[in-house]
Homo-oligomer: A and B are copies of this chain.
Amino acid sequence: MGLGPGKKEYMTGRALAVIAEAEIVLGHSTYLEPIKSLLEGKQVISSSMGKEVDRASQAIDLAKTHKVAIVSGGDAGIYGMASIVLEVLEHDGAEIEVEVVPGVTAATAAASLLGSPLSGDYATLSLSDLLTPLEVIEHRLDTIFSVGIPVVLYNPKSRGRPHNFAIAVSHARHHLAGTTPVAIVKNALREGEQTIITTLEEIEDHESEIDMHSVVIIGGTESRIWRRGDDVKGIITPRGYHKKYVY
């Protein structure tokens, strides 16, 4: 199940109901901490980052005899636990009933803080090379930046891969103007929220502010900074109404 960005108020009613019904809740401690008031009287199995396969196996074993919820931040089907739980279940062969509960995904949570940077066609790409070889990631980056749609970068930087973000920026620069809007969004819609709005040619000045709790949105060819007077309010990617209508 997907918890959404983190704060309880961004969970869906269905997610709240599933937590309420569960006898056992498994998940990363970062995601369980903000919802601990919902976990009273339940068995809670929290784990640290990594160990996803172990957590999935444990959830499947427990689900043979109990109602189990295994939680992901954002949407469980986007860089979350849904796929590995289903793979382990398939391998195990147990006939357990499964429901995948969607949540507000990190890309749109981050986008909502910026105005409307995505708006239509977009892609999400992870810079983590733990499970995907770097050459595959680079090919995806280069190809997708070439069509000029906004791109949401997950795992832009973390221990063990400090250079992947600079590589991604260099691919973006091959295809997009230096003035293309870029935003760093840390902890969208949860404790520690912060947004930085800049451009592709100036993103290097802010690189040290990117951490593993950030996503980075790189605008497309139509994206522009949204200003009110001298204030930078966010990013707008128009959908094209301005070409058809006068307003």
Which residues in A have some Cβ–Cβ distance to B below 8 Å? 2, 4-5, 8-14, 17, 52-53, 56-57, 75-79, 82-84, 86-88, 90-91, 95, 98, 100-105, 108-109, 111-113, 115-126, 130-132, 139-140, 143-144, 146-147, 149, 189, 226-228, 234, 236-245, 247
Contacts and interface: CB of A to CB of B under 8 A. Distances in A.
Given A82-B115, A132-B240, A241-B131, A4 B12 contact: yes
Nearest to A17: B9
Given A119-B82, A147-B144, A241-B87, A112 B247 contact: no
A100 B118 contact: no
Given A119-B82, A143-B143, A77 B247 contact: no
Nearest to A131: B240
Contact of A122 (B124, B226, B247): B124
A98 B113 CA distance: 10
Contacts of A228: 90, 95
